[in-house]
Amino acid sequence: MKYANIKEGIFIERVNRFIAHIDVDGKVEVCHVKNTGRCKEILVKGCKVFVQEFDSKIRKTKFDLISVYKGNRLINIDSQVPNKMFSEWVKLGNLFKDIKVFKSEVFYKNSRFDFYVEYEDKKAFIEIKGVTLENEGVVLFPDAPTSRGVKHLKELVSAREEGYEAYVIFIVQMEGVKYFTPNYETHKEFGDTLSFCKNNGVNILAFDSVVLKDEIYIKDSVKVLI
């Protein structure tokens, strides 16, 4: 996944879930934050960031906040990019063999899953979760309670019981991490439900990413501890 028109900036403050003030070339710019999560441990005043510049009269802001340095680690916080990365990665021949059908945004019962795939003689639903929360090399999800996420996990189990394959895939938007684990402290129900998924045949995978100032792509499998 490539980004065009990337510029370096300095984070000043987050005004609300959607807006931040960024110093770009010595000027304070209003910037769209492409992640509604808390990101408090990442978005720290004075940290170095990368923003994407747009020349559009229909946009409310000229910039999107794409990635942030946490110490020496560059973390992509674009919540829209994990699905795009996964789609690109699968189409390059990764994870599944002999793909016959690959669709995004597919409804099943009361949920809309990120992807549906038919491969070999199997049919599978896939839910993608982007991970930006890191603590001493350990990455966690979620960074805020997510009742919607719990609902999706439960319906993946339901799909599994009806004969579908089911996957929860955590796309870690950074590289060089130790392992992934659910964030029980922030949302115990999500962690417990993920364990329930594991015990009922749902595949739970995690992959890290190479993050550059203008690019991000899936790299390696990450250990999952539940």
The CATH number of the domain where 180 resides is what? 3.40.1350.60
pLDDT at 90: 97
Residue among 116, 119, 118, 117 nearest 98 (CA): 119
Same domain, 63 and 87: no
Helix axes 188-199, 147-161, angle to 10 degrees: 10
1, part of any domain: no
Would the pLDDT of 58 be above 90?
Answer: no
Choosing from 76, 105, 138, the residue where a domain stops is 76
41, part of any domain: yes
Averaged over 144-167, what is the pLDDT?
A: 96
**Cβ–Cβ < 8 Å for 95, 89:** yes
Residue among 47, 54, 39 nearest 8 (CA): 47
Same domain, 159 and 98: yes
The CA distance from 149 to 192, in Å, is: 12
pLDDT at 93: 95
Averaged over 93-115, what is the pLDDT?
A: 95
Same domain, 215 and 179: yes
Same domain, 123 and 29: no
Would the pLDDT of 36 be above 90?
Answer: no
In which band, very low, low, confident or very high, does the pLDDT at 79 lie, cut at 50, 70 and 90? very high
Averaged over 46-65, what is the pLDDT?
A: 93
226, part of any domain: no
Choosing from 76, 105, 125, the residue where a domain stops is 76
Cβ-in-10-Å burial (0-12, 13-18, 19+) of 161 comes to exposed
Same domain, 107 and 183: yes
pLDDT at 177: 98
Would the pLDDT of 107 be above 90?
Answer: yes
In which band, very low, low, confident or very high, does the pLDDT at 184 lie, cut at 50, 70 and 90? very high
User: How many separate domains does the chain show?
Assistant: 2
Same domain, 126 and 204: yes
Same domain, 95 and 202: yes
pLDDT at 57: 79
Averaged over 124-139, what is the pLDDT?
A: 97
Averaged over 73-97, what is the pLDDT?
A: 97
Q: Which residues pair with 126 in a beta bridge?
A: 115, 167
Residue among 9, 10, 65, 59 nearest 36 (CA): 65
Question: What CATH number does residue 15 fall under?
Answer: 2.40.50.580
Same domain, 209 and 97: yes
159, part of any domain: yes
Same domain, 117 and 217: yes
Same domain, 122 and 56: no
In which band, very low, low, confident or very high, does the pLDDT at 180 lie, cut at 50, 70 and 90? very high
pLDDT-above-90 percentage for the chain: 94
Same domain, 42 and 117: no
pLDDT at 38: 85
pLDDT at 191: 98
Domain with 176, as residue range(s), is 81-221
pTM: 0.96
The chain-wide mean pLDDT, for the chain, equals 96
The CA distance from 88 to 84, in Å, is: 6
Same domain, 91 and 53: no
Choosing from 21, 47, 76, the residue where a domain stops is 76
